Structure 1
Amino acid sequence: AAPGAAELEAELSALGAKVTIAACDFADRAATAELLDSLPDLDAVVHAAGVLDDGVLDSLTPQRLATVLKSKVDSAITLDELTRNRDLSAFVLFSSLAATLGAAGQGNYVAANAVLDALAEHRAGLGLPATSIAWGPWAGAGMAAGTGTRSERGGIRPLAPDVATAALGQALSGSDTVVAVADVDWAQFAPGFTAVRAARLLDDLPEARRALETVVKPEPDFRAKLDALTGPERERALLDLVRAEVAAVLGYASPATVDPGLAFKELGLDSLTAVELRNGLAAVTGLSLPATLGFDYANPAALAQHLGRELGPADPAAAAEAELDRIEAAFAALTAEQLAGTRITTRLQALLSRLGTGPAENTRQKLETASETEIFDFIDNELGLA
């Protein structure tokens, strides 16, 4: 028996409860049958077993899958088969929200809990009692201990135990075979959950729909903005994007606190958050990116350079137009007095000569004798900056 089992049994017995605490591997059919035979008055089964062996999909092995399935699936199937002849009032399976929504780095755990949901549906189809509850993380101790910060960043808050037990009672008194119970901040969760692709799962949830309706779409989009930039400004925009995504995934206070020269591992990136980083960057850039993105490049600066290569060079025409916009804004801030005595006239002459905008000699002559006001008019009319 588990440590403290005798003390727990004594406390419950003092409250008038009939308690039997026994150690049993429920994946072992013979041991389970022996235990059930010792409980002739068994009225309900609550299956709350589970173990974790997390890792991204390409790191999973048959053994790592079997480890999780044995605890979750094998034991549930054994209990199902060996209690078919019992008149049970309830057969409760503790599933996980991971099977409902998916969970990065938990492919084996997702699959195991999906089987529990399917088993409940199967039992219900046979007219047997069955309820599978896809739980979000519980606060305090348990399998979710230590994951609170990460899950809360995604909008899934730990359930208070008293709220969770109240929800359990509601689930058992209802008619649904499979239910999900979680404390969700929809304003935070829904946009992130649909960042890479739409999710029909949320269509019937009013809270999720309202959250998605309030999401402000950036205008212009990142790629359009990037195409209008060149040189250092383009490089800075790419690095800002990477730092912002890293800060969001790893919980940094702001993108400015992310050191672009520090290795991703030193920044705190692991296999799970690497997937989240890839998803965020893919959503913004529209690129097809590998899940190993955070490990393929030394640091945020190197990753930003890679994204720049993948996105291709800026459109020359768009970049030139953006530069003209900047020139127009600069001239708008100058007075005729400030313009006098500068080399601007000479540089405009050289630029127009290269562009072949009209006869160069005539243009040069006009600019040489033009007043400050006439030069402003020339910029507006000839270069199309008006």
Structure 2
Amino acid sequence: HAVLEEMGIDRAHRASSRDLDFEDVLREATGGRGVDVVLNSLAGPFVDASLRLLASGGRLSEMGKTDIRHPDHVAAEYAGVRYRAFDLVPDAGPDRIGAMLRELRALFAAGVLRPAPVRSRPLSRARDALRELSQARHTGKLVLDVPAAVDPDGTVLITGGTGTLGGLVAEHLVRAWRVGHLVLVSRRGEDAPGAKELASRLAELGARVRIAAVDVTDAAAVADLVAGIDPEHPLTGVIHATGLLDDAVVTSQTPERIARVWAAKATAAAHLHAATAHLRLGMFVLFSSAAGTLGSPGQANYAAANAFCDALAAHRRAAGLPGVSVAWGLWADTSGMTGHLAEADLARMARTGVNALGTRQGLALLDAAVQHGGGHVVAAGVDPRTLAGLPADSLPAALRALATTVGGSGAGRRTAAAAGGGQQVDWRARLAGLSTAERHRLVLNLVRGHAATVLGHADVDAVQADASFKELGFDSLTAVELRNRLAAATGLRLPAAMAFDYPEAAVLAEYLLERLTPDDGAAAGTDAVDPVLNELARLDTTLATLVTDEEGRQRIAKRLSGLLTKWNGSPTDPAGPTDFSALESASDDEMFELIDRELP
């Protein structure tokens, strides 16, 4: 196409000639005359095609080594065409080559000649570039661009730089990478907790630090930040460590919750990319999360935002820019994002086979990720032995291979029943022949045992049968884990909101028992009672979380008292049902007496 454009053939003409032979297109462009010179490095039928393109008196200069023709044979087959094969170094010699280069330089400087098109490829795509070169699908030069290194005398910008992880990374860059200039970005700047102390520590290590208060979700602010970096110490690296959590199960997600999490992670990453795309950076590191790769219950919005960061790193690398997205697991150091996690939360994560990373381990993984050369890596404290003891269908696909490898060796392999809480048990057979009370006790113990495990309790007695799951400390994430564990143990497909629809262990046990023995009539006597008890349990949970004023409380209390009065009444009650037929003729005293009796 570049050659055709040089010859004045526009795109419309080329499109209309798409089905024509390329030789015909060129002959048409030259008025049927042909071209004067072919500089050839092809072989086989391509050499013959080039010879046919030459006009009378034309010359083919053969640079290739694999298909050398004899000049006499060429002259006999292609009348009026001159053919010469040459090897530049021995044929011309260094003096002649020097003279040619000087002449060419003068012609280029005068504008008589223009350089051939140049297209660069990152060194990581050398295989693609060489394949294109070998197939002669290019015009001009293909150049492999060696990536820039992080310049110790340059500046590294860290978003979230005054936070826990940002501070650890900043200090590591100064100590291990000898980075001398840092720009630490956060929304509060120097007013962020510990920011001034961090700057002092880094200064003592010999670094020059600037702490900037910038909203990285503002494209103009990010552009001004990058443009304002000292040109004597140009930007050499970017580390995007900002993030925001707003956990909730999918059904509780709202546009507002998604927007908050997306802005801090994904929008800010896009602004950093746009503001630095024209710069020759040594690194562009995005702190992503394993939630976007492995999944994490209750973190749909966070997973989506981090998946965008993973895709952005791939996009940058495809464009020849540096980019790596590090999908982190949990760090042990408490940060603003993870400070709310309790011991039970950490224990719950450890049971999934992913442990918290220590500081030294995390920083070593950061170094490895930058040096790895890939665009997306997962850096997490994965425990293969724990994975090997978990049901395969409960693991992310990316971790199943690790579990299979360890499990196959027999080392540390737990039985499926022990790991999954009895998921291989035939509950129908196990419950057959038991009394109603024994069945309920067995399933109740199953529920209490898994609930205690999820909450991090060693003793099943920590979960009482009539205690509300919410009062015990369950939230949306732990409720999902309880659902998953019971589903694996029973083989049932259970609803995501199971722990909220059946908010007590006893109520949940009744629900599971009904699902496990749907055709058994042993508990038929309770069929009419169970729905009422379930509704009362849900009402109990609703009232426990209800926020209302005194008037509202009184209205609810009167309504509940009225329901209880009706339930406690019976057909043999002396008072009998209230007769409202004489209401129109009742006196004021009789009206008040009726209200007091019906709405105590």
TM tier, shorter chain?
0.7 to 0.9
In 1, the alpha carbon distance for the partners of 2:467 and 2:392 equals: 27
Q: What is aligned with 1:200?
A: 397
In 1, the alpha carbon distance for the partners of 2:301 and 2:438 equals: 44
Q: Which of 399, 406, 413 pairs up with 1:210?
A: 406
Q: What is aligned with 1:246?
A: 451
1:279 is the counterpart of 2:484: yes
1:145 is the counterpart of 2:343: no
Task: Give 1:93's aligned amino acid.
Answer: L
Q: What is aligned with 1:67?
A: 260
Task: Give 1:9's aligned amino acid.
Answer: A
Distance 1:260 1:114, change over 3 A: same
Structure 1 unpaired stretches of 5+: 317-386
Q: What is aligned with 1:328?
A: none
Distance 1:138 1:208, change over 3 A: farther
Q: What is aligned with 1:329?
A: none
Q: What is aligned with 2:592?
A: none
* Per-residue Cα deviation, 1:180-233 (whole angstroms, up to 9, x for no partner): 1111233334544x465464322432x553248623133861424434342232
Distance 1:154 1:9, change over 3 A: closer
* Per-residue Cα deviation, 1:285-320 (whole angstroms, up to 9, x for no partner): 22221111111124101110111111225779xxxx
Task: Give 2:398's aligned amino acid.
Answer: L
1:235 is the counterpart of 2:235: no
Check conservation: 1:135, 1:181, Cα contact below 8 A.
yes
Distance 1:6 1:301, change over 3 A: closer
Q: What is aligned with 1:154?
A: 349
Q: What is aligned with 1:105?
A: 298
The structure where helix makes up a greater share of residues is 1
Task: Give the CA deviation at 1:7.
Answer: 4.3
Task: Give 1:204's aligned amino acid.
Answer: A
Alpha-carbon RMSD: 2.2
TM-score of the aligned structures, taking structure 2 as reference length: 0.49
In 2, the alpha carbon distance for the partners of 1:116 and 1:252 equals: 37
1:8 is the counterpart of 2:198: yes
In 1, the alpha carbon distance for the partners of 2:380 and 2:388 equals: 14
Q: What is aligned with 1:36?
A: 226
Distance 1:72 1:122, change over 3 A: same
Task: Give the CA deviation at 1:15.
Answer: 2.7
Task: Give the CA deviation at 1:71.
Answer: 0.2
Report which stretch shifted further, 139-148 or 177-186.
139-148
Structure 2 unpaired stretches of 5+: 1-188, 522-600
TM-score of the aligned structures, taking structure 1 as reference length: 0.75
1:259 is the counterpart of 2:464: yes
Check conservation: 1:95, 1:117, Cα contact below 8 A.
yes
Q: How many residues align?
A: 314
- The alignment-based identity, stated in percent, is 43
Distance 1:240 1:118, change over 3 A: same
Check conservation: 2:388, 2:414, Cα contact below 8 A.
no
* Per-residue Cα deviation, 1:15-36 (whole angstroms, up to 9, x for no partner): 3212221111111111111111
Report 1 or 2 for greater relative contact order, CA contacts < 8 Å, sequence distance ≥ 6: 1
Distance 1:47 1:158, change over 3 A: same
Check conservation: 2:443, 2:509, Cα contact below 8 A.
yes
Q: How does 1:52-91 map to 2 (within 5 A)?
A: 52-91=245-284
Distance 1:247 1:196, change over 3 A: farther
Task: Give the CA deviation at 1:162.
Answer: 1.5
* Per-residue Cα deviation, 1:24-53 (whole angstroms, up to 9, x for no partner): 111111111111111130000000000111
Report which stretch shifted further, 233-242 or 213-222.
213-222
Check conservation: 2:428, 2:516, Cα contact below 8 A.
no
